[in-house]
Chain A
Amino acid sequence: MTKSNNHYAIEAHNLNIFYGNFQAVKNVDLEIERNKITAIIGPSGCGKSTVIRAFNRMNDFILTARVEGEILFHEKNIYASDIDAVQIRRMIGMVFQKPNPFPKSIYENVAWGARVNGFRGNTDELVEQTLRAAALWDEVKDNLKRNALELSGGQQQRLCIARALAVKPEIILMDEPCSALDPIATLKIEDLMRELSQEYTIIIVTHNMQQAARVSDNTAFFTMDEDRAGIMVEYGLTSHIFTKPHDQRTEDYITGRFG
């Protein structure tokens, strides 16, 4: 097992992911810094979502998916056979592309995850705390019993973030969280991300290069090789990637020559 460095929240080493016989991701080495926002960018189809879902073992639910290599979290390979995937998912939360709150009340949406994971404290406090942390409290505090589906798209997504926060994760994965939202909602969530990164590690997959440039500390650029497998081309400080990229492919993508 590769020696892990403690200032990384999570690391992928030699990650290869297959769907049946098709290789979707090839040889990815990625170390995610704690308490930073790491963006994964690149054209569509180059395995970005697959990689991020590998971090919390959501790929387990796809029958044909197969993961080779290792992902180290707290010095353990999360794909080892003696690791509890359910716990992993509690500690590494996820926000999805299309907001998917439960068809329950706002209160229940936040409280349920905590309860199911054994939370026995004051639920009211927890709900208020997380809704504040998600910058949603002021907008919904008057009626927490309202059905979550009545909220606007942006509000629903913030609710999903609050829901994820309620189970006290270390890392929050975000798979194109703003692609279904309007620009104002998007900006609100970007502000939120910056606040959250003080306490949590955030990894975000985004199609929107400008968003990555605005919001992230580090950026990884992915593309497709000749066999249509996703590979990581370059990874570094966002400022460097966007001003002085080392690889020609990165520069081509950033300047809009393809993708």
Chain B
Amino acid sequence: MNKLLSTPSMDSPDPEIQAFFKGRHRQATLWQVIFNLSTLVGIIVLVILLVTILNRTMGFTAVENEIAPQSLSDRPMDELEINEMAAIIRGQLTRNRMRTIERAGPLEEQGRGKVYEILIEEVVQPKVVQSYTLIDSLTKRGQISAEIAEKFPQATMEFRFWLNARFLQNAMASEPTLAGVRSALLGSFFLIVITISVAFPIGIGAAIYLEEYAVAKNWINRIIQTNIDNLAGVPSIVYGILGLAVFVRILVPFTSGAMFGVEGGSGRTILSAGLTMALLILPILIINAQEAIRAVPNSLRQASYGLGATRWQTIWNHVLPYALPGILTGTILAVSRAIGETAPLIVVGASTFITSDPSGPFSSFSALPIQIFNWTTRPDDTFRNIAAAAIVVLLVSLLTLNAVAIILRNRFTKRI
């Protein structure tokens, strides 16, 4: 009798059938393990990513001073009195430089912290000639100090936190120790303000139109909807190209401010970039808002219409308030996407070296991701450290923003 004609049972004494079940069981367990492990990959990657970045944000550095502090005074720099520091500074810097520094007032009145800063930055002028990662710093301390002694005899070994308060306050500079993200942060901030001011009203308007007015499934409404879905998948760099041609070039009188009397500008302004980013996030904003509006129960609308309210009265008084938490969450998510976008900004012409803060929508600008890109691609290795620091700033901002979104959503849904 063919053993397998009747359905084999696990209790069957036949060794062949037993083997079959064992093999099947083994296979199932094996694949279950594989599936389990694959999910670990996500966690592992995230951890490695964070470690890689944090690894670079602090560590030992070999610092060479332009002028050795010992030659200026016997005591350590930070123990000097303010007039002693001022005297040293006056002795070392050119008259022109002194004039610039003292434009706000004589050194002695500028506060000890500021004078110390000037002393270090302009007189001592420390330069990092070699930096080491955190992991190396913790594990290979001896090797590092030996290497520094050998290769950079002039240098001192210091532990440095690349992400510090000064980093956030300083403007861009060509020396990694002095460079900061202030102008990039301000640039990103202004950029986002313009982006939201344009994208939010238009996006909500379009969503309301599609969900409440364009209910007829005619061809034009379907085209608008399909179009929006397609636009959501267009690569961000293409938006950059669009922005370059339209905002930077064609609309240059508007975006450079020439129309408003601003002189000497180019089209590569915060305004152009903001408009480009607005176009970029518009499709996602619309799609999210549409979902939020769709979630409003129809009974609410019916109740309103039944009282003799018009369509807009119903939307403004009932539909929008109900959909608002969802819309806000969607907007914040779109904004977090915009904050991290780099490619369109490169194409539209973000500057990589801005020393002054942006003064308005018509100034040229930088942005945090651009700064990260620039520092990452510098041949000098030390810049990777401040790139890592800037990345931490970026990620923390994004985290905060998303946390706010989640809190907002929870608070609003509780109220209803």
Contact = CB atoms under 8 A, between A and B. Distances in A.
Direct interface between A and B, CB < 8 A: yes
Interface stretch (A21-29, A87-95, A240-248): A87-95
Given A90-B307, A163-B307, A102 B299 contact: no
Interface stretch (B50-58, B251-259, B309-317): B309-317
A63 B217 CA distance: 9
B43 interface: no
B318 interface: yes
Nearest to A160: B303
A31 B409 CA distance: 51
B310 A86 contact: yes
A94 B308 CA distance: 10
B322 interface: yes
B317 A112 contact: yes
B377 interface: no
A248 to B, nearest CB: 37
Contact of B307 (A98, A103, A117, A149): A117
B416 interface: yes
B215 interface: yes
Contacts of B322: 103
Given A96-B299, A100-B299, A100-B300, A58 B318 contact: no
B308 A90 contact: yes
B305 A58 contact: yes
Contact of B318 (A91, A102, A163): A102
Nearest to A89: B308
B408 to A, nearest CB: 18
Contacts of A98: 299
B47 interface: no
B27 interface: no
Interface string B404-416: 0000000000001
A258 interface: no
A31 B168 CA distance: 78
A113 interface: yes
Contact of B313 (A91, A96, A116): A116
A101 B299 CA distance: 9
B261 interface: no
The DSSP consensus for interface residues of chain B is helix
B308 A167 contact: yes
B310 A103 contact: no
Interface in B63-116: none
Contacts of B306: 56, 58, 89, 93-94, 96, 164
B216 interface: yes
Given A103-B322, A116-B317, A96 B309 contact: no
Interface residues of A, number: 27
B90 to A, nearest CB: 70
Given A63-B215, A63-B216, A112-B317, A100 B309 contact: no
B302 interface: yes
A149 to B, nearest CB: 8
Contacts of A86: 308-310
Contacts of B301: 61
Contacts of A87: 308
Contacts of A90: 307-308
A163 B300 CA distance: 13
B166 to A, nearest CB: 50
A148 to B, nearest CB: 11
A89 B310 CA distance: 10
For this complex, into which size category does the number of interface residues on chain B fall?
Answer: 20 to 34
A74 B303 CA distance: 24
Instruction: From B304, B308, B317, B416, name the one whose CB has the most chain A CB atoms within 10 angstroms.
Output: B308
Interface string A96-110: 101011110000000
Interface string B201-228: 0000000000000011100000000000
A56 B216 CA distance: 21
B307 A93 contact: yes
A92 to B, nearest CB: 9
Nearest to B416: A103
A138 B210 CA distance: 44
A225 B248 CA distance: 69
Nearest to B311: A86
Contacts of A89: 305-308
Contacts of B216: 63
B303 A61 contact: no
B302 A113 contact: no
Contacts of B318: 102
Given A96-B299, A160-B303, A113 B215 contact: no
Contacts of B313: 116
A66 to B, nearest CB: 14
A218 B305 CA distance: 28
A87 B304 CA distance: 13
A91 B308 CA distance: 8
Contacts of A94: 302, 306
The 6 closest A-B pairs by CB, nearest first: A90-B308, A113-B307, A100-B299, A94-B306, A89-B308, A100-B303
Interface of A: 56, 58, 61, 63, 86-91, 93-94, 96, 98, 100-103, 112-113, 116-117, 149, 160, 163-164, 167
26 contacts: A58-B305, A61-B301, A61-B302, A61-B305, A63-B216, A63-B217, A86-B308, A89-B305, A89-B306, A89-B308, A90-B307, A90-B308, A93-B307, A96-B302, A100-B299, A100-B300, A100-B302, A100-B303, A102-B318, A103-B322, A112-B307, A116-B308, A116-B309, A116-B313, A117-B309, A149-B416
Given A58-B302, A58-B306, A86-B309, 11 more contacts: A61-B302, A63-B215, A93-B307, A96-B306, A100-B297, A100-B299, A101-B303, A102-B304, A116-B307, A117-B307, A167-B308
